[in-house]
Amino acid sequence: MARIEQAVILAAGEGQRLRPFTASKPKVMIPIANKPILQYVIEAVAQNGIRKILLVVGYKKDQVMDYFGSGEQFHVDIEYVEQKQQLGTAHAVKQVKGKIKGKFMVLPGDNIIDPVTISKIVLEKPNAILVNEQEYISKYGVIEAQDGIVTSIVEKPREAVSHLVNTGIYAFSNDIFDFIGQETDLPSVIRSMIAQGIKIKACPSAGAWLDVVYPWDILRLNDVALTKTQAATGGFIEKDVNIKGQVSIGKGTTIRSNSYIVGPAIIGENCEIGPGVCVLPSTSMGNNVCVMPFTVIDNCMIADGVEIGPGSTIRDSIIDRGCRLQGHFVAQSGETEIKVDDEYNRVSIGAMMGEHCSVGDNVVTAPGVIMGNRCKVKALKVIEQSIPDDGLVV
């Protein structure tokens, strides 16, 4: 059976529910275990023998194009197509009409997948949908199928008509363009194809398929991605440092004496850690991070260029690029209710901090506090409510 040899990856969206982390970067560029989400998709596609990729970009497209370039370093050939208005998935696919021939795959660029996840659908004849079994289905398009053939797609049902959800990964032929018309979303296109008697196969996925919808999902994905981290030591480790489990340490990084690091964890390049710092499992730190003495970091995503002062305790938190946290900062973690759009979500989380925030000495944040980008907080404050972009607490 001939394999699919070309892929269309949809990477144009913003991801508004993930603010403040998408105010300055597209959702596909959020780092998970020190790699953009989109990189996981491209690597999975490449490892399945697909070399030709059409990348549909839009929101802050320059960041995507600058990072991935021609695709050469990822062993693929990338061509970029712009979706100027992010109207939906079918509208995005419509942008590649005339640039692709024969059968092809469509994948979302904002989900983490393993190479094995798409290994079956690469061999499928068009038309097919990759489906994944999920316990909680209210956030997804739910697939009803009979004898492996899709009979309907129900968007975000209140009751579980099925536990098979649409992953947004498809195998199509050029015929799909005849059905898109003025439709903006692919599930609507699929429904009209089914109504016209076209068979769509439900192809079960074998590997990981992880969706990031809300800011706290970043930690969940980070945890899963870190379990695949290979132990590596590229930096300099002083005496009396205790490292346990799978820990990756980048080039130019120094781990000072009496620090304790438990994997899975990843510390990027040119970082300065310690002395006497404790890094606990499921923590990722980007490049050029500085963590001063006697600080504890547990289950966190710390992005590039963050500075954390001495004696701090940060648990279950996301600290975005370029933040400066003075000494004795405490991000409390616990169960709390967070409103996103008009939905209330009960989650266990610490602080979620956007880019380039500046926090003074002895600041404490309550569980679930979301701090926007470029916020400034003076010393000796207890932050119990979220702060918008450019917020000032004096």
Domain ranges of the chain: 6-213, 225-393
pLDDT of residue 195: 85
Q: What's the chain's average pLDDT?
A: 91
Long-range contacts of 251-255 (CB under 8 A, 24+ apart): none
- The pTM of the whole model exceeds 0.95: no
Contact 78, 70 (CB under 8 A): yes
| Mean pLDDT computed over 178-204 | 86
Residue by residue, what is the 3-state secondary structure of the chain?
CCCCCEEEEEECCCCHHHCCCCCCCCHHHCEECCEEHHHHHHHHHHHCCCCEEEEEECCCHHHHHHHHCCCHHHCCEEEEEECCCCCCHHHHHHCCCCCCCCCEEEEECCEEECHHHHCCHHHCCCCEEEEEECCCCCCCEEEEEECCEEEEEEECCCCCCCCEEEEEEEEECCCHHHHHCCCCCHHHHHHHHHHCCCCCEEEECCCCEEECCCCCHHHHHHHHHHCCCCCEECCEECCCCEEECCEEECCCCEECCCCEEECCEEECCCCEECCCCEECCCEEECCCCEECCCCEEECCEECCCCEECCCCEEECCEECCCCEECCCCEECCEEEEEEECCEEEEEEECCEECCCCEECCCCEECCCCEECCCCEECCCCEECCCECCCCEEC
Rounded alpha-carbon distances, angstroms, from residue 163 to 119, 144, 205: 21, 9, 13
Give the residue with greater pLDDT, 156 vs 90.
90
Amino acid at 282: S
pLDDT class for 104, splitting at 50, 70, 90?
very high
Share of the chain above pLDDT 90, in %: 61
| Mean pLDDT computed over 218-229 | 92
Contact 87, 79 (CB under 8 A): no
pLDDT class for 1, splitting at 50, 70, 90?
low
* Per-residue pLDDT tens digits for 311-327: 999 999 999 999 999 99
- For the cut 80, the answer to whether the pLDDT of residue 186 exceeds it is yes
| Pairwise CA distance, residues 5 & 77, whole Å | 11
Contact 237, 219 (CB under 8 A): no
| Pairwise CA distance, residues 320 & 318, whole Å | 6
Among the residue ranges 87-96, 148-157, 181-190, 215-224, the one predicted with the least confidence is 148-157
Rounded alpha-carbon distances, angstroms, from residue 282 to 41, 224, 248, 388: 21, 8, 12, 28
Among the residue ranges 30-39, 114-123, 245-254, the one predicted with the least confidence is 114-123
* Per-residue pLDDT tens digits for 263-301: 999 999 999 999 999 999 999 999 999 999 999 999 999
| Pairwise CA distance, residues 180 & 391, whole Å | 44
- For the cut 70, the answer to whether the pLDDT of residue 25 exceeds it is yes
Among the residue ranges 126-140, 242-256, 284-298, the one predicted with the least confidence is 126-140
| Mean pLDDT computed over 244-252 | 96
Long-range contacts of 39-43 (CB under 8 A, 24+ apart): 39/68, 39/74, 40/112, 40/113, 40/225, 41/9, 41/107, 41/108, 41/109, 41/111, 41/112, 41/113, 42/9, 42/68, 42/71, 42/74, 42/76, 42/78, 43/74, 43/115
Instruction: Count CB neighbours of 177 within 10 A.
Output: 17
Contact 253, 268 (CB under 8 A): yes
CATH architecture of 6-213: Alpha-Beta Complex (3.90)
pLDDT of residue 239: 94
CATH H-level superfamily of 225-393: Hexapeptide repeat proteins (2.160.10.10)
pLDDT of residue 150: 78
CA 130 to chain centre: 19
* Top-confidence range, 11-20, 120-129, 228-237, 290-299: 290-299
Token pair 């913003």 in the structure block, residue = 14
* Per-residue pLDDT tens digits for 332-354: 999 998 888 778 889 999 999 99
Structure tokens at 378: 């003076």
- For the cut 80, the answer to whether the pLDDT of residue 198 exceeds it is yes
pLDDT of residue 40: 94
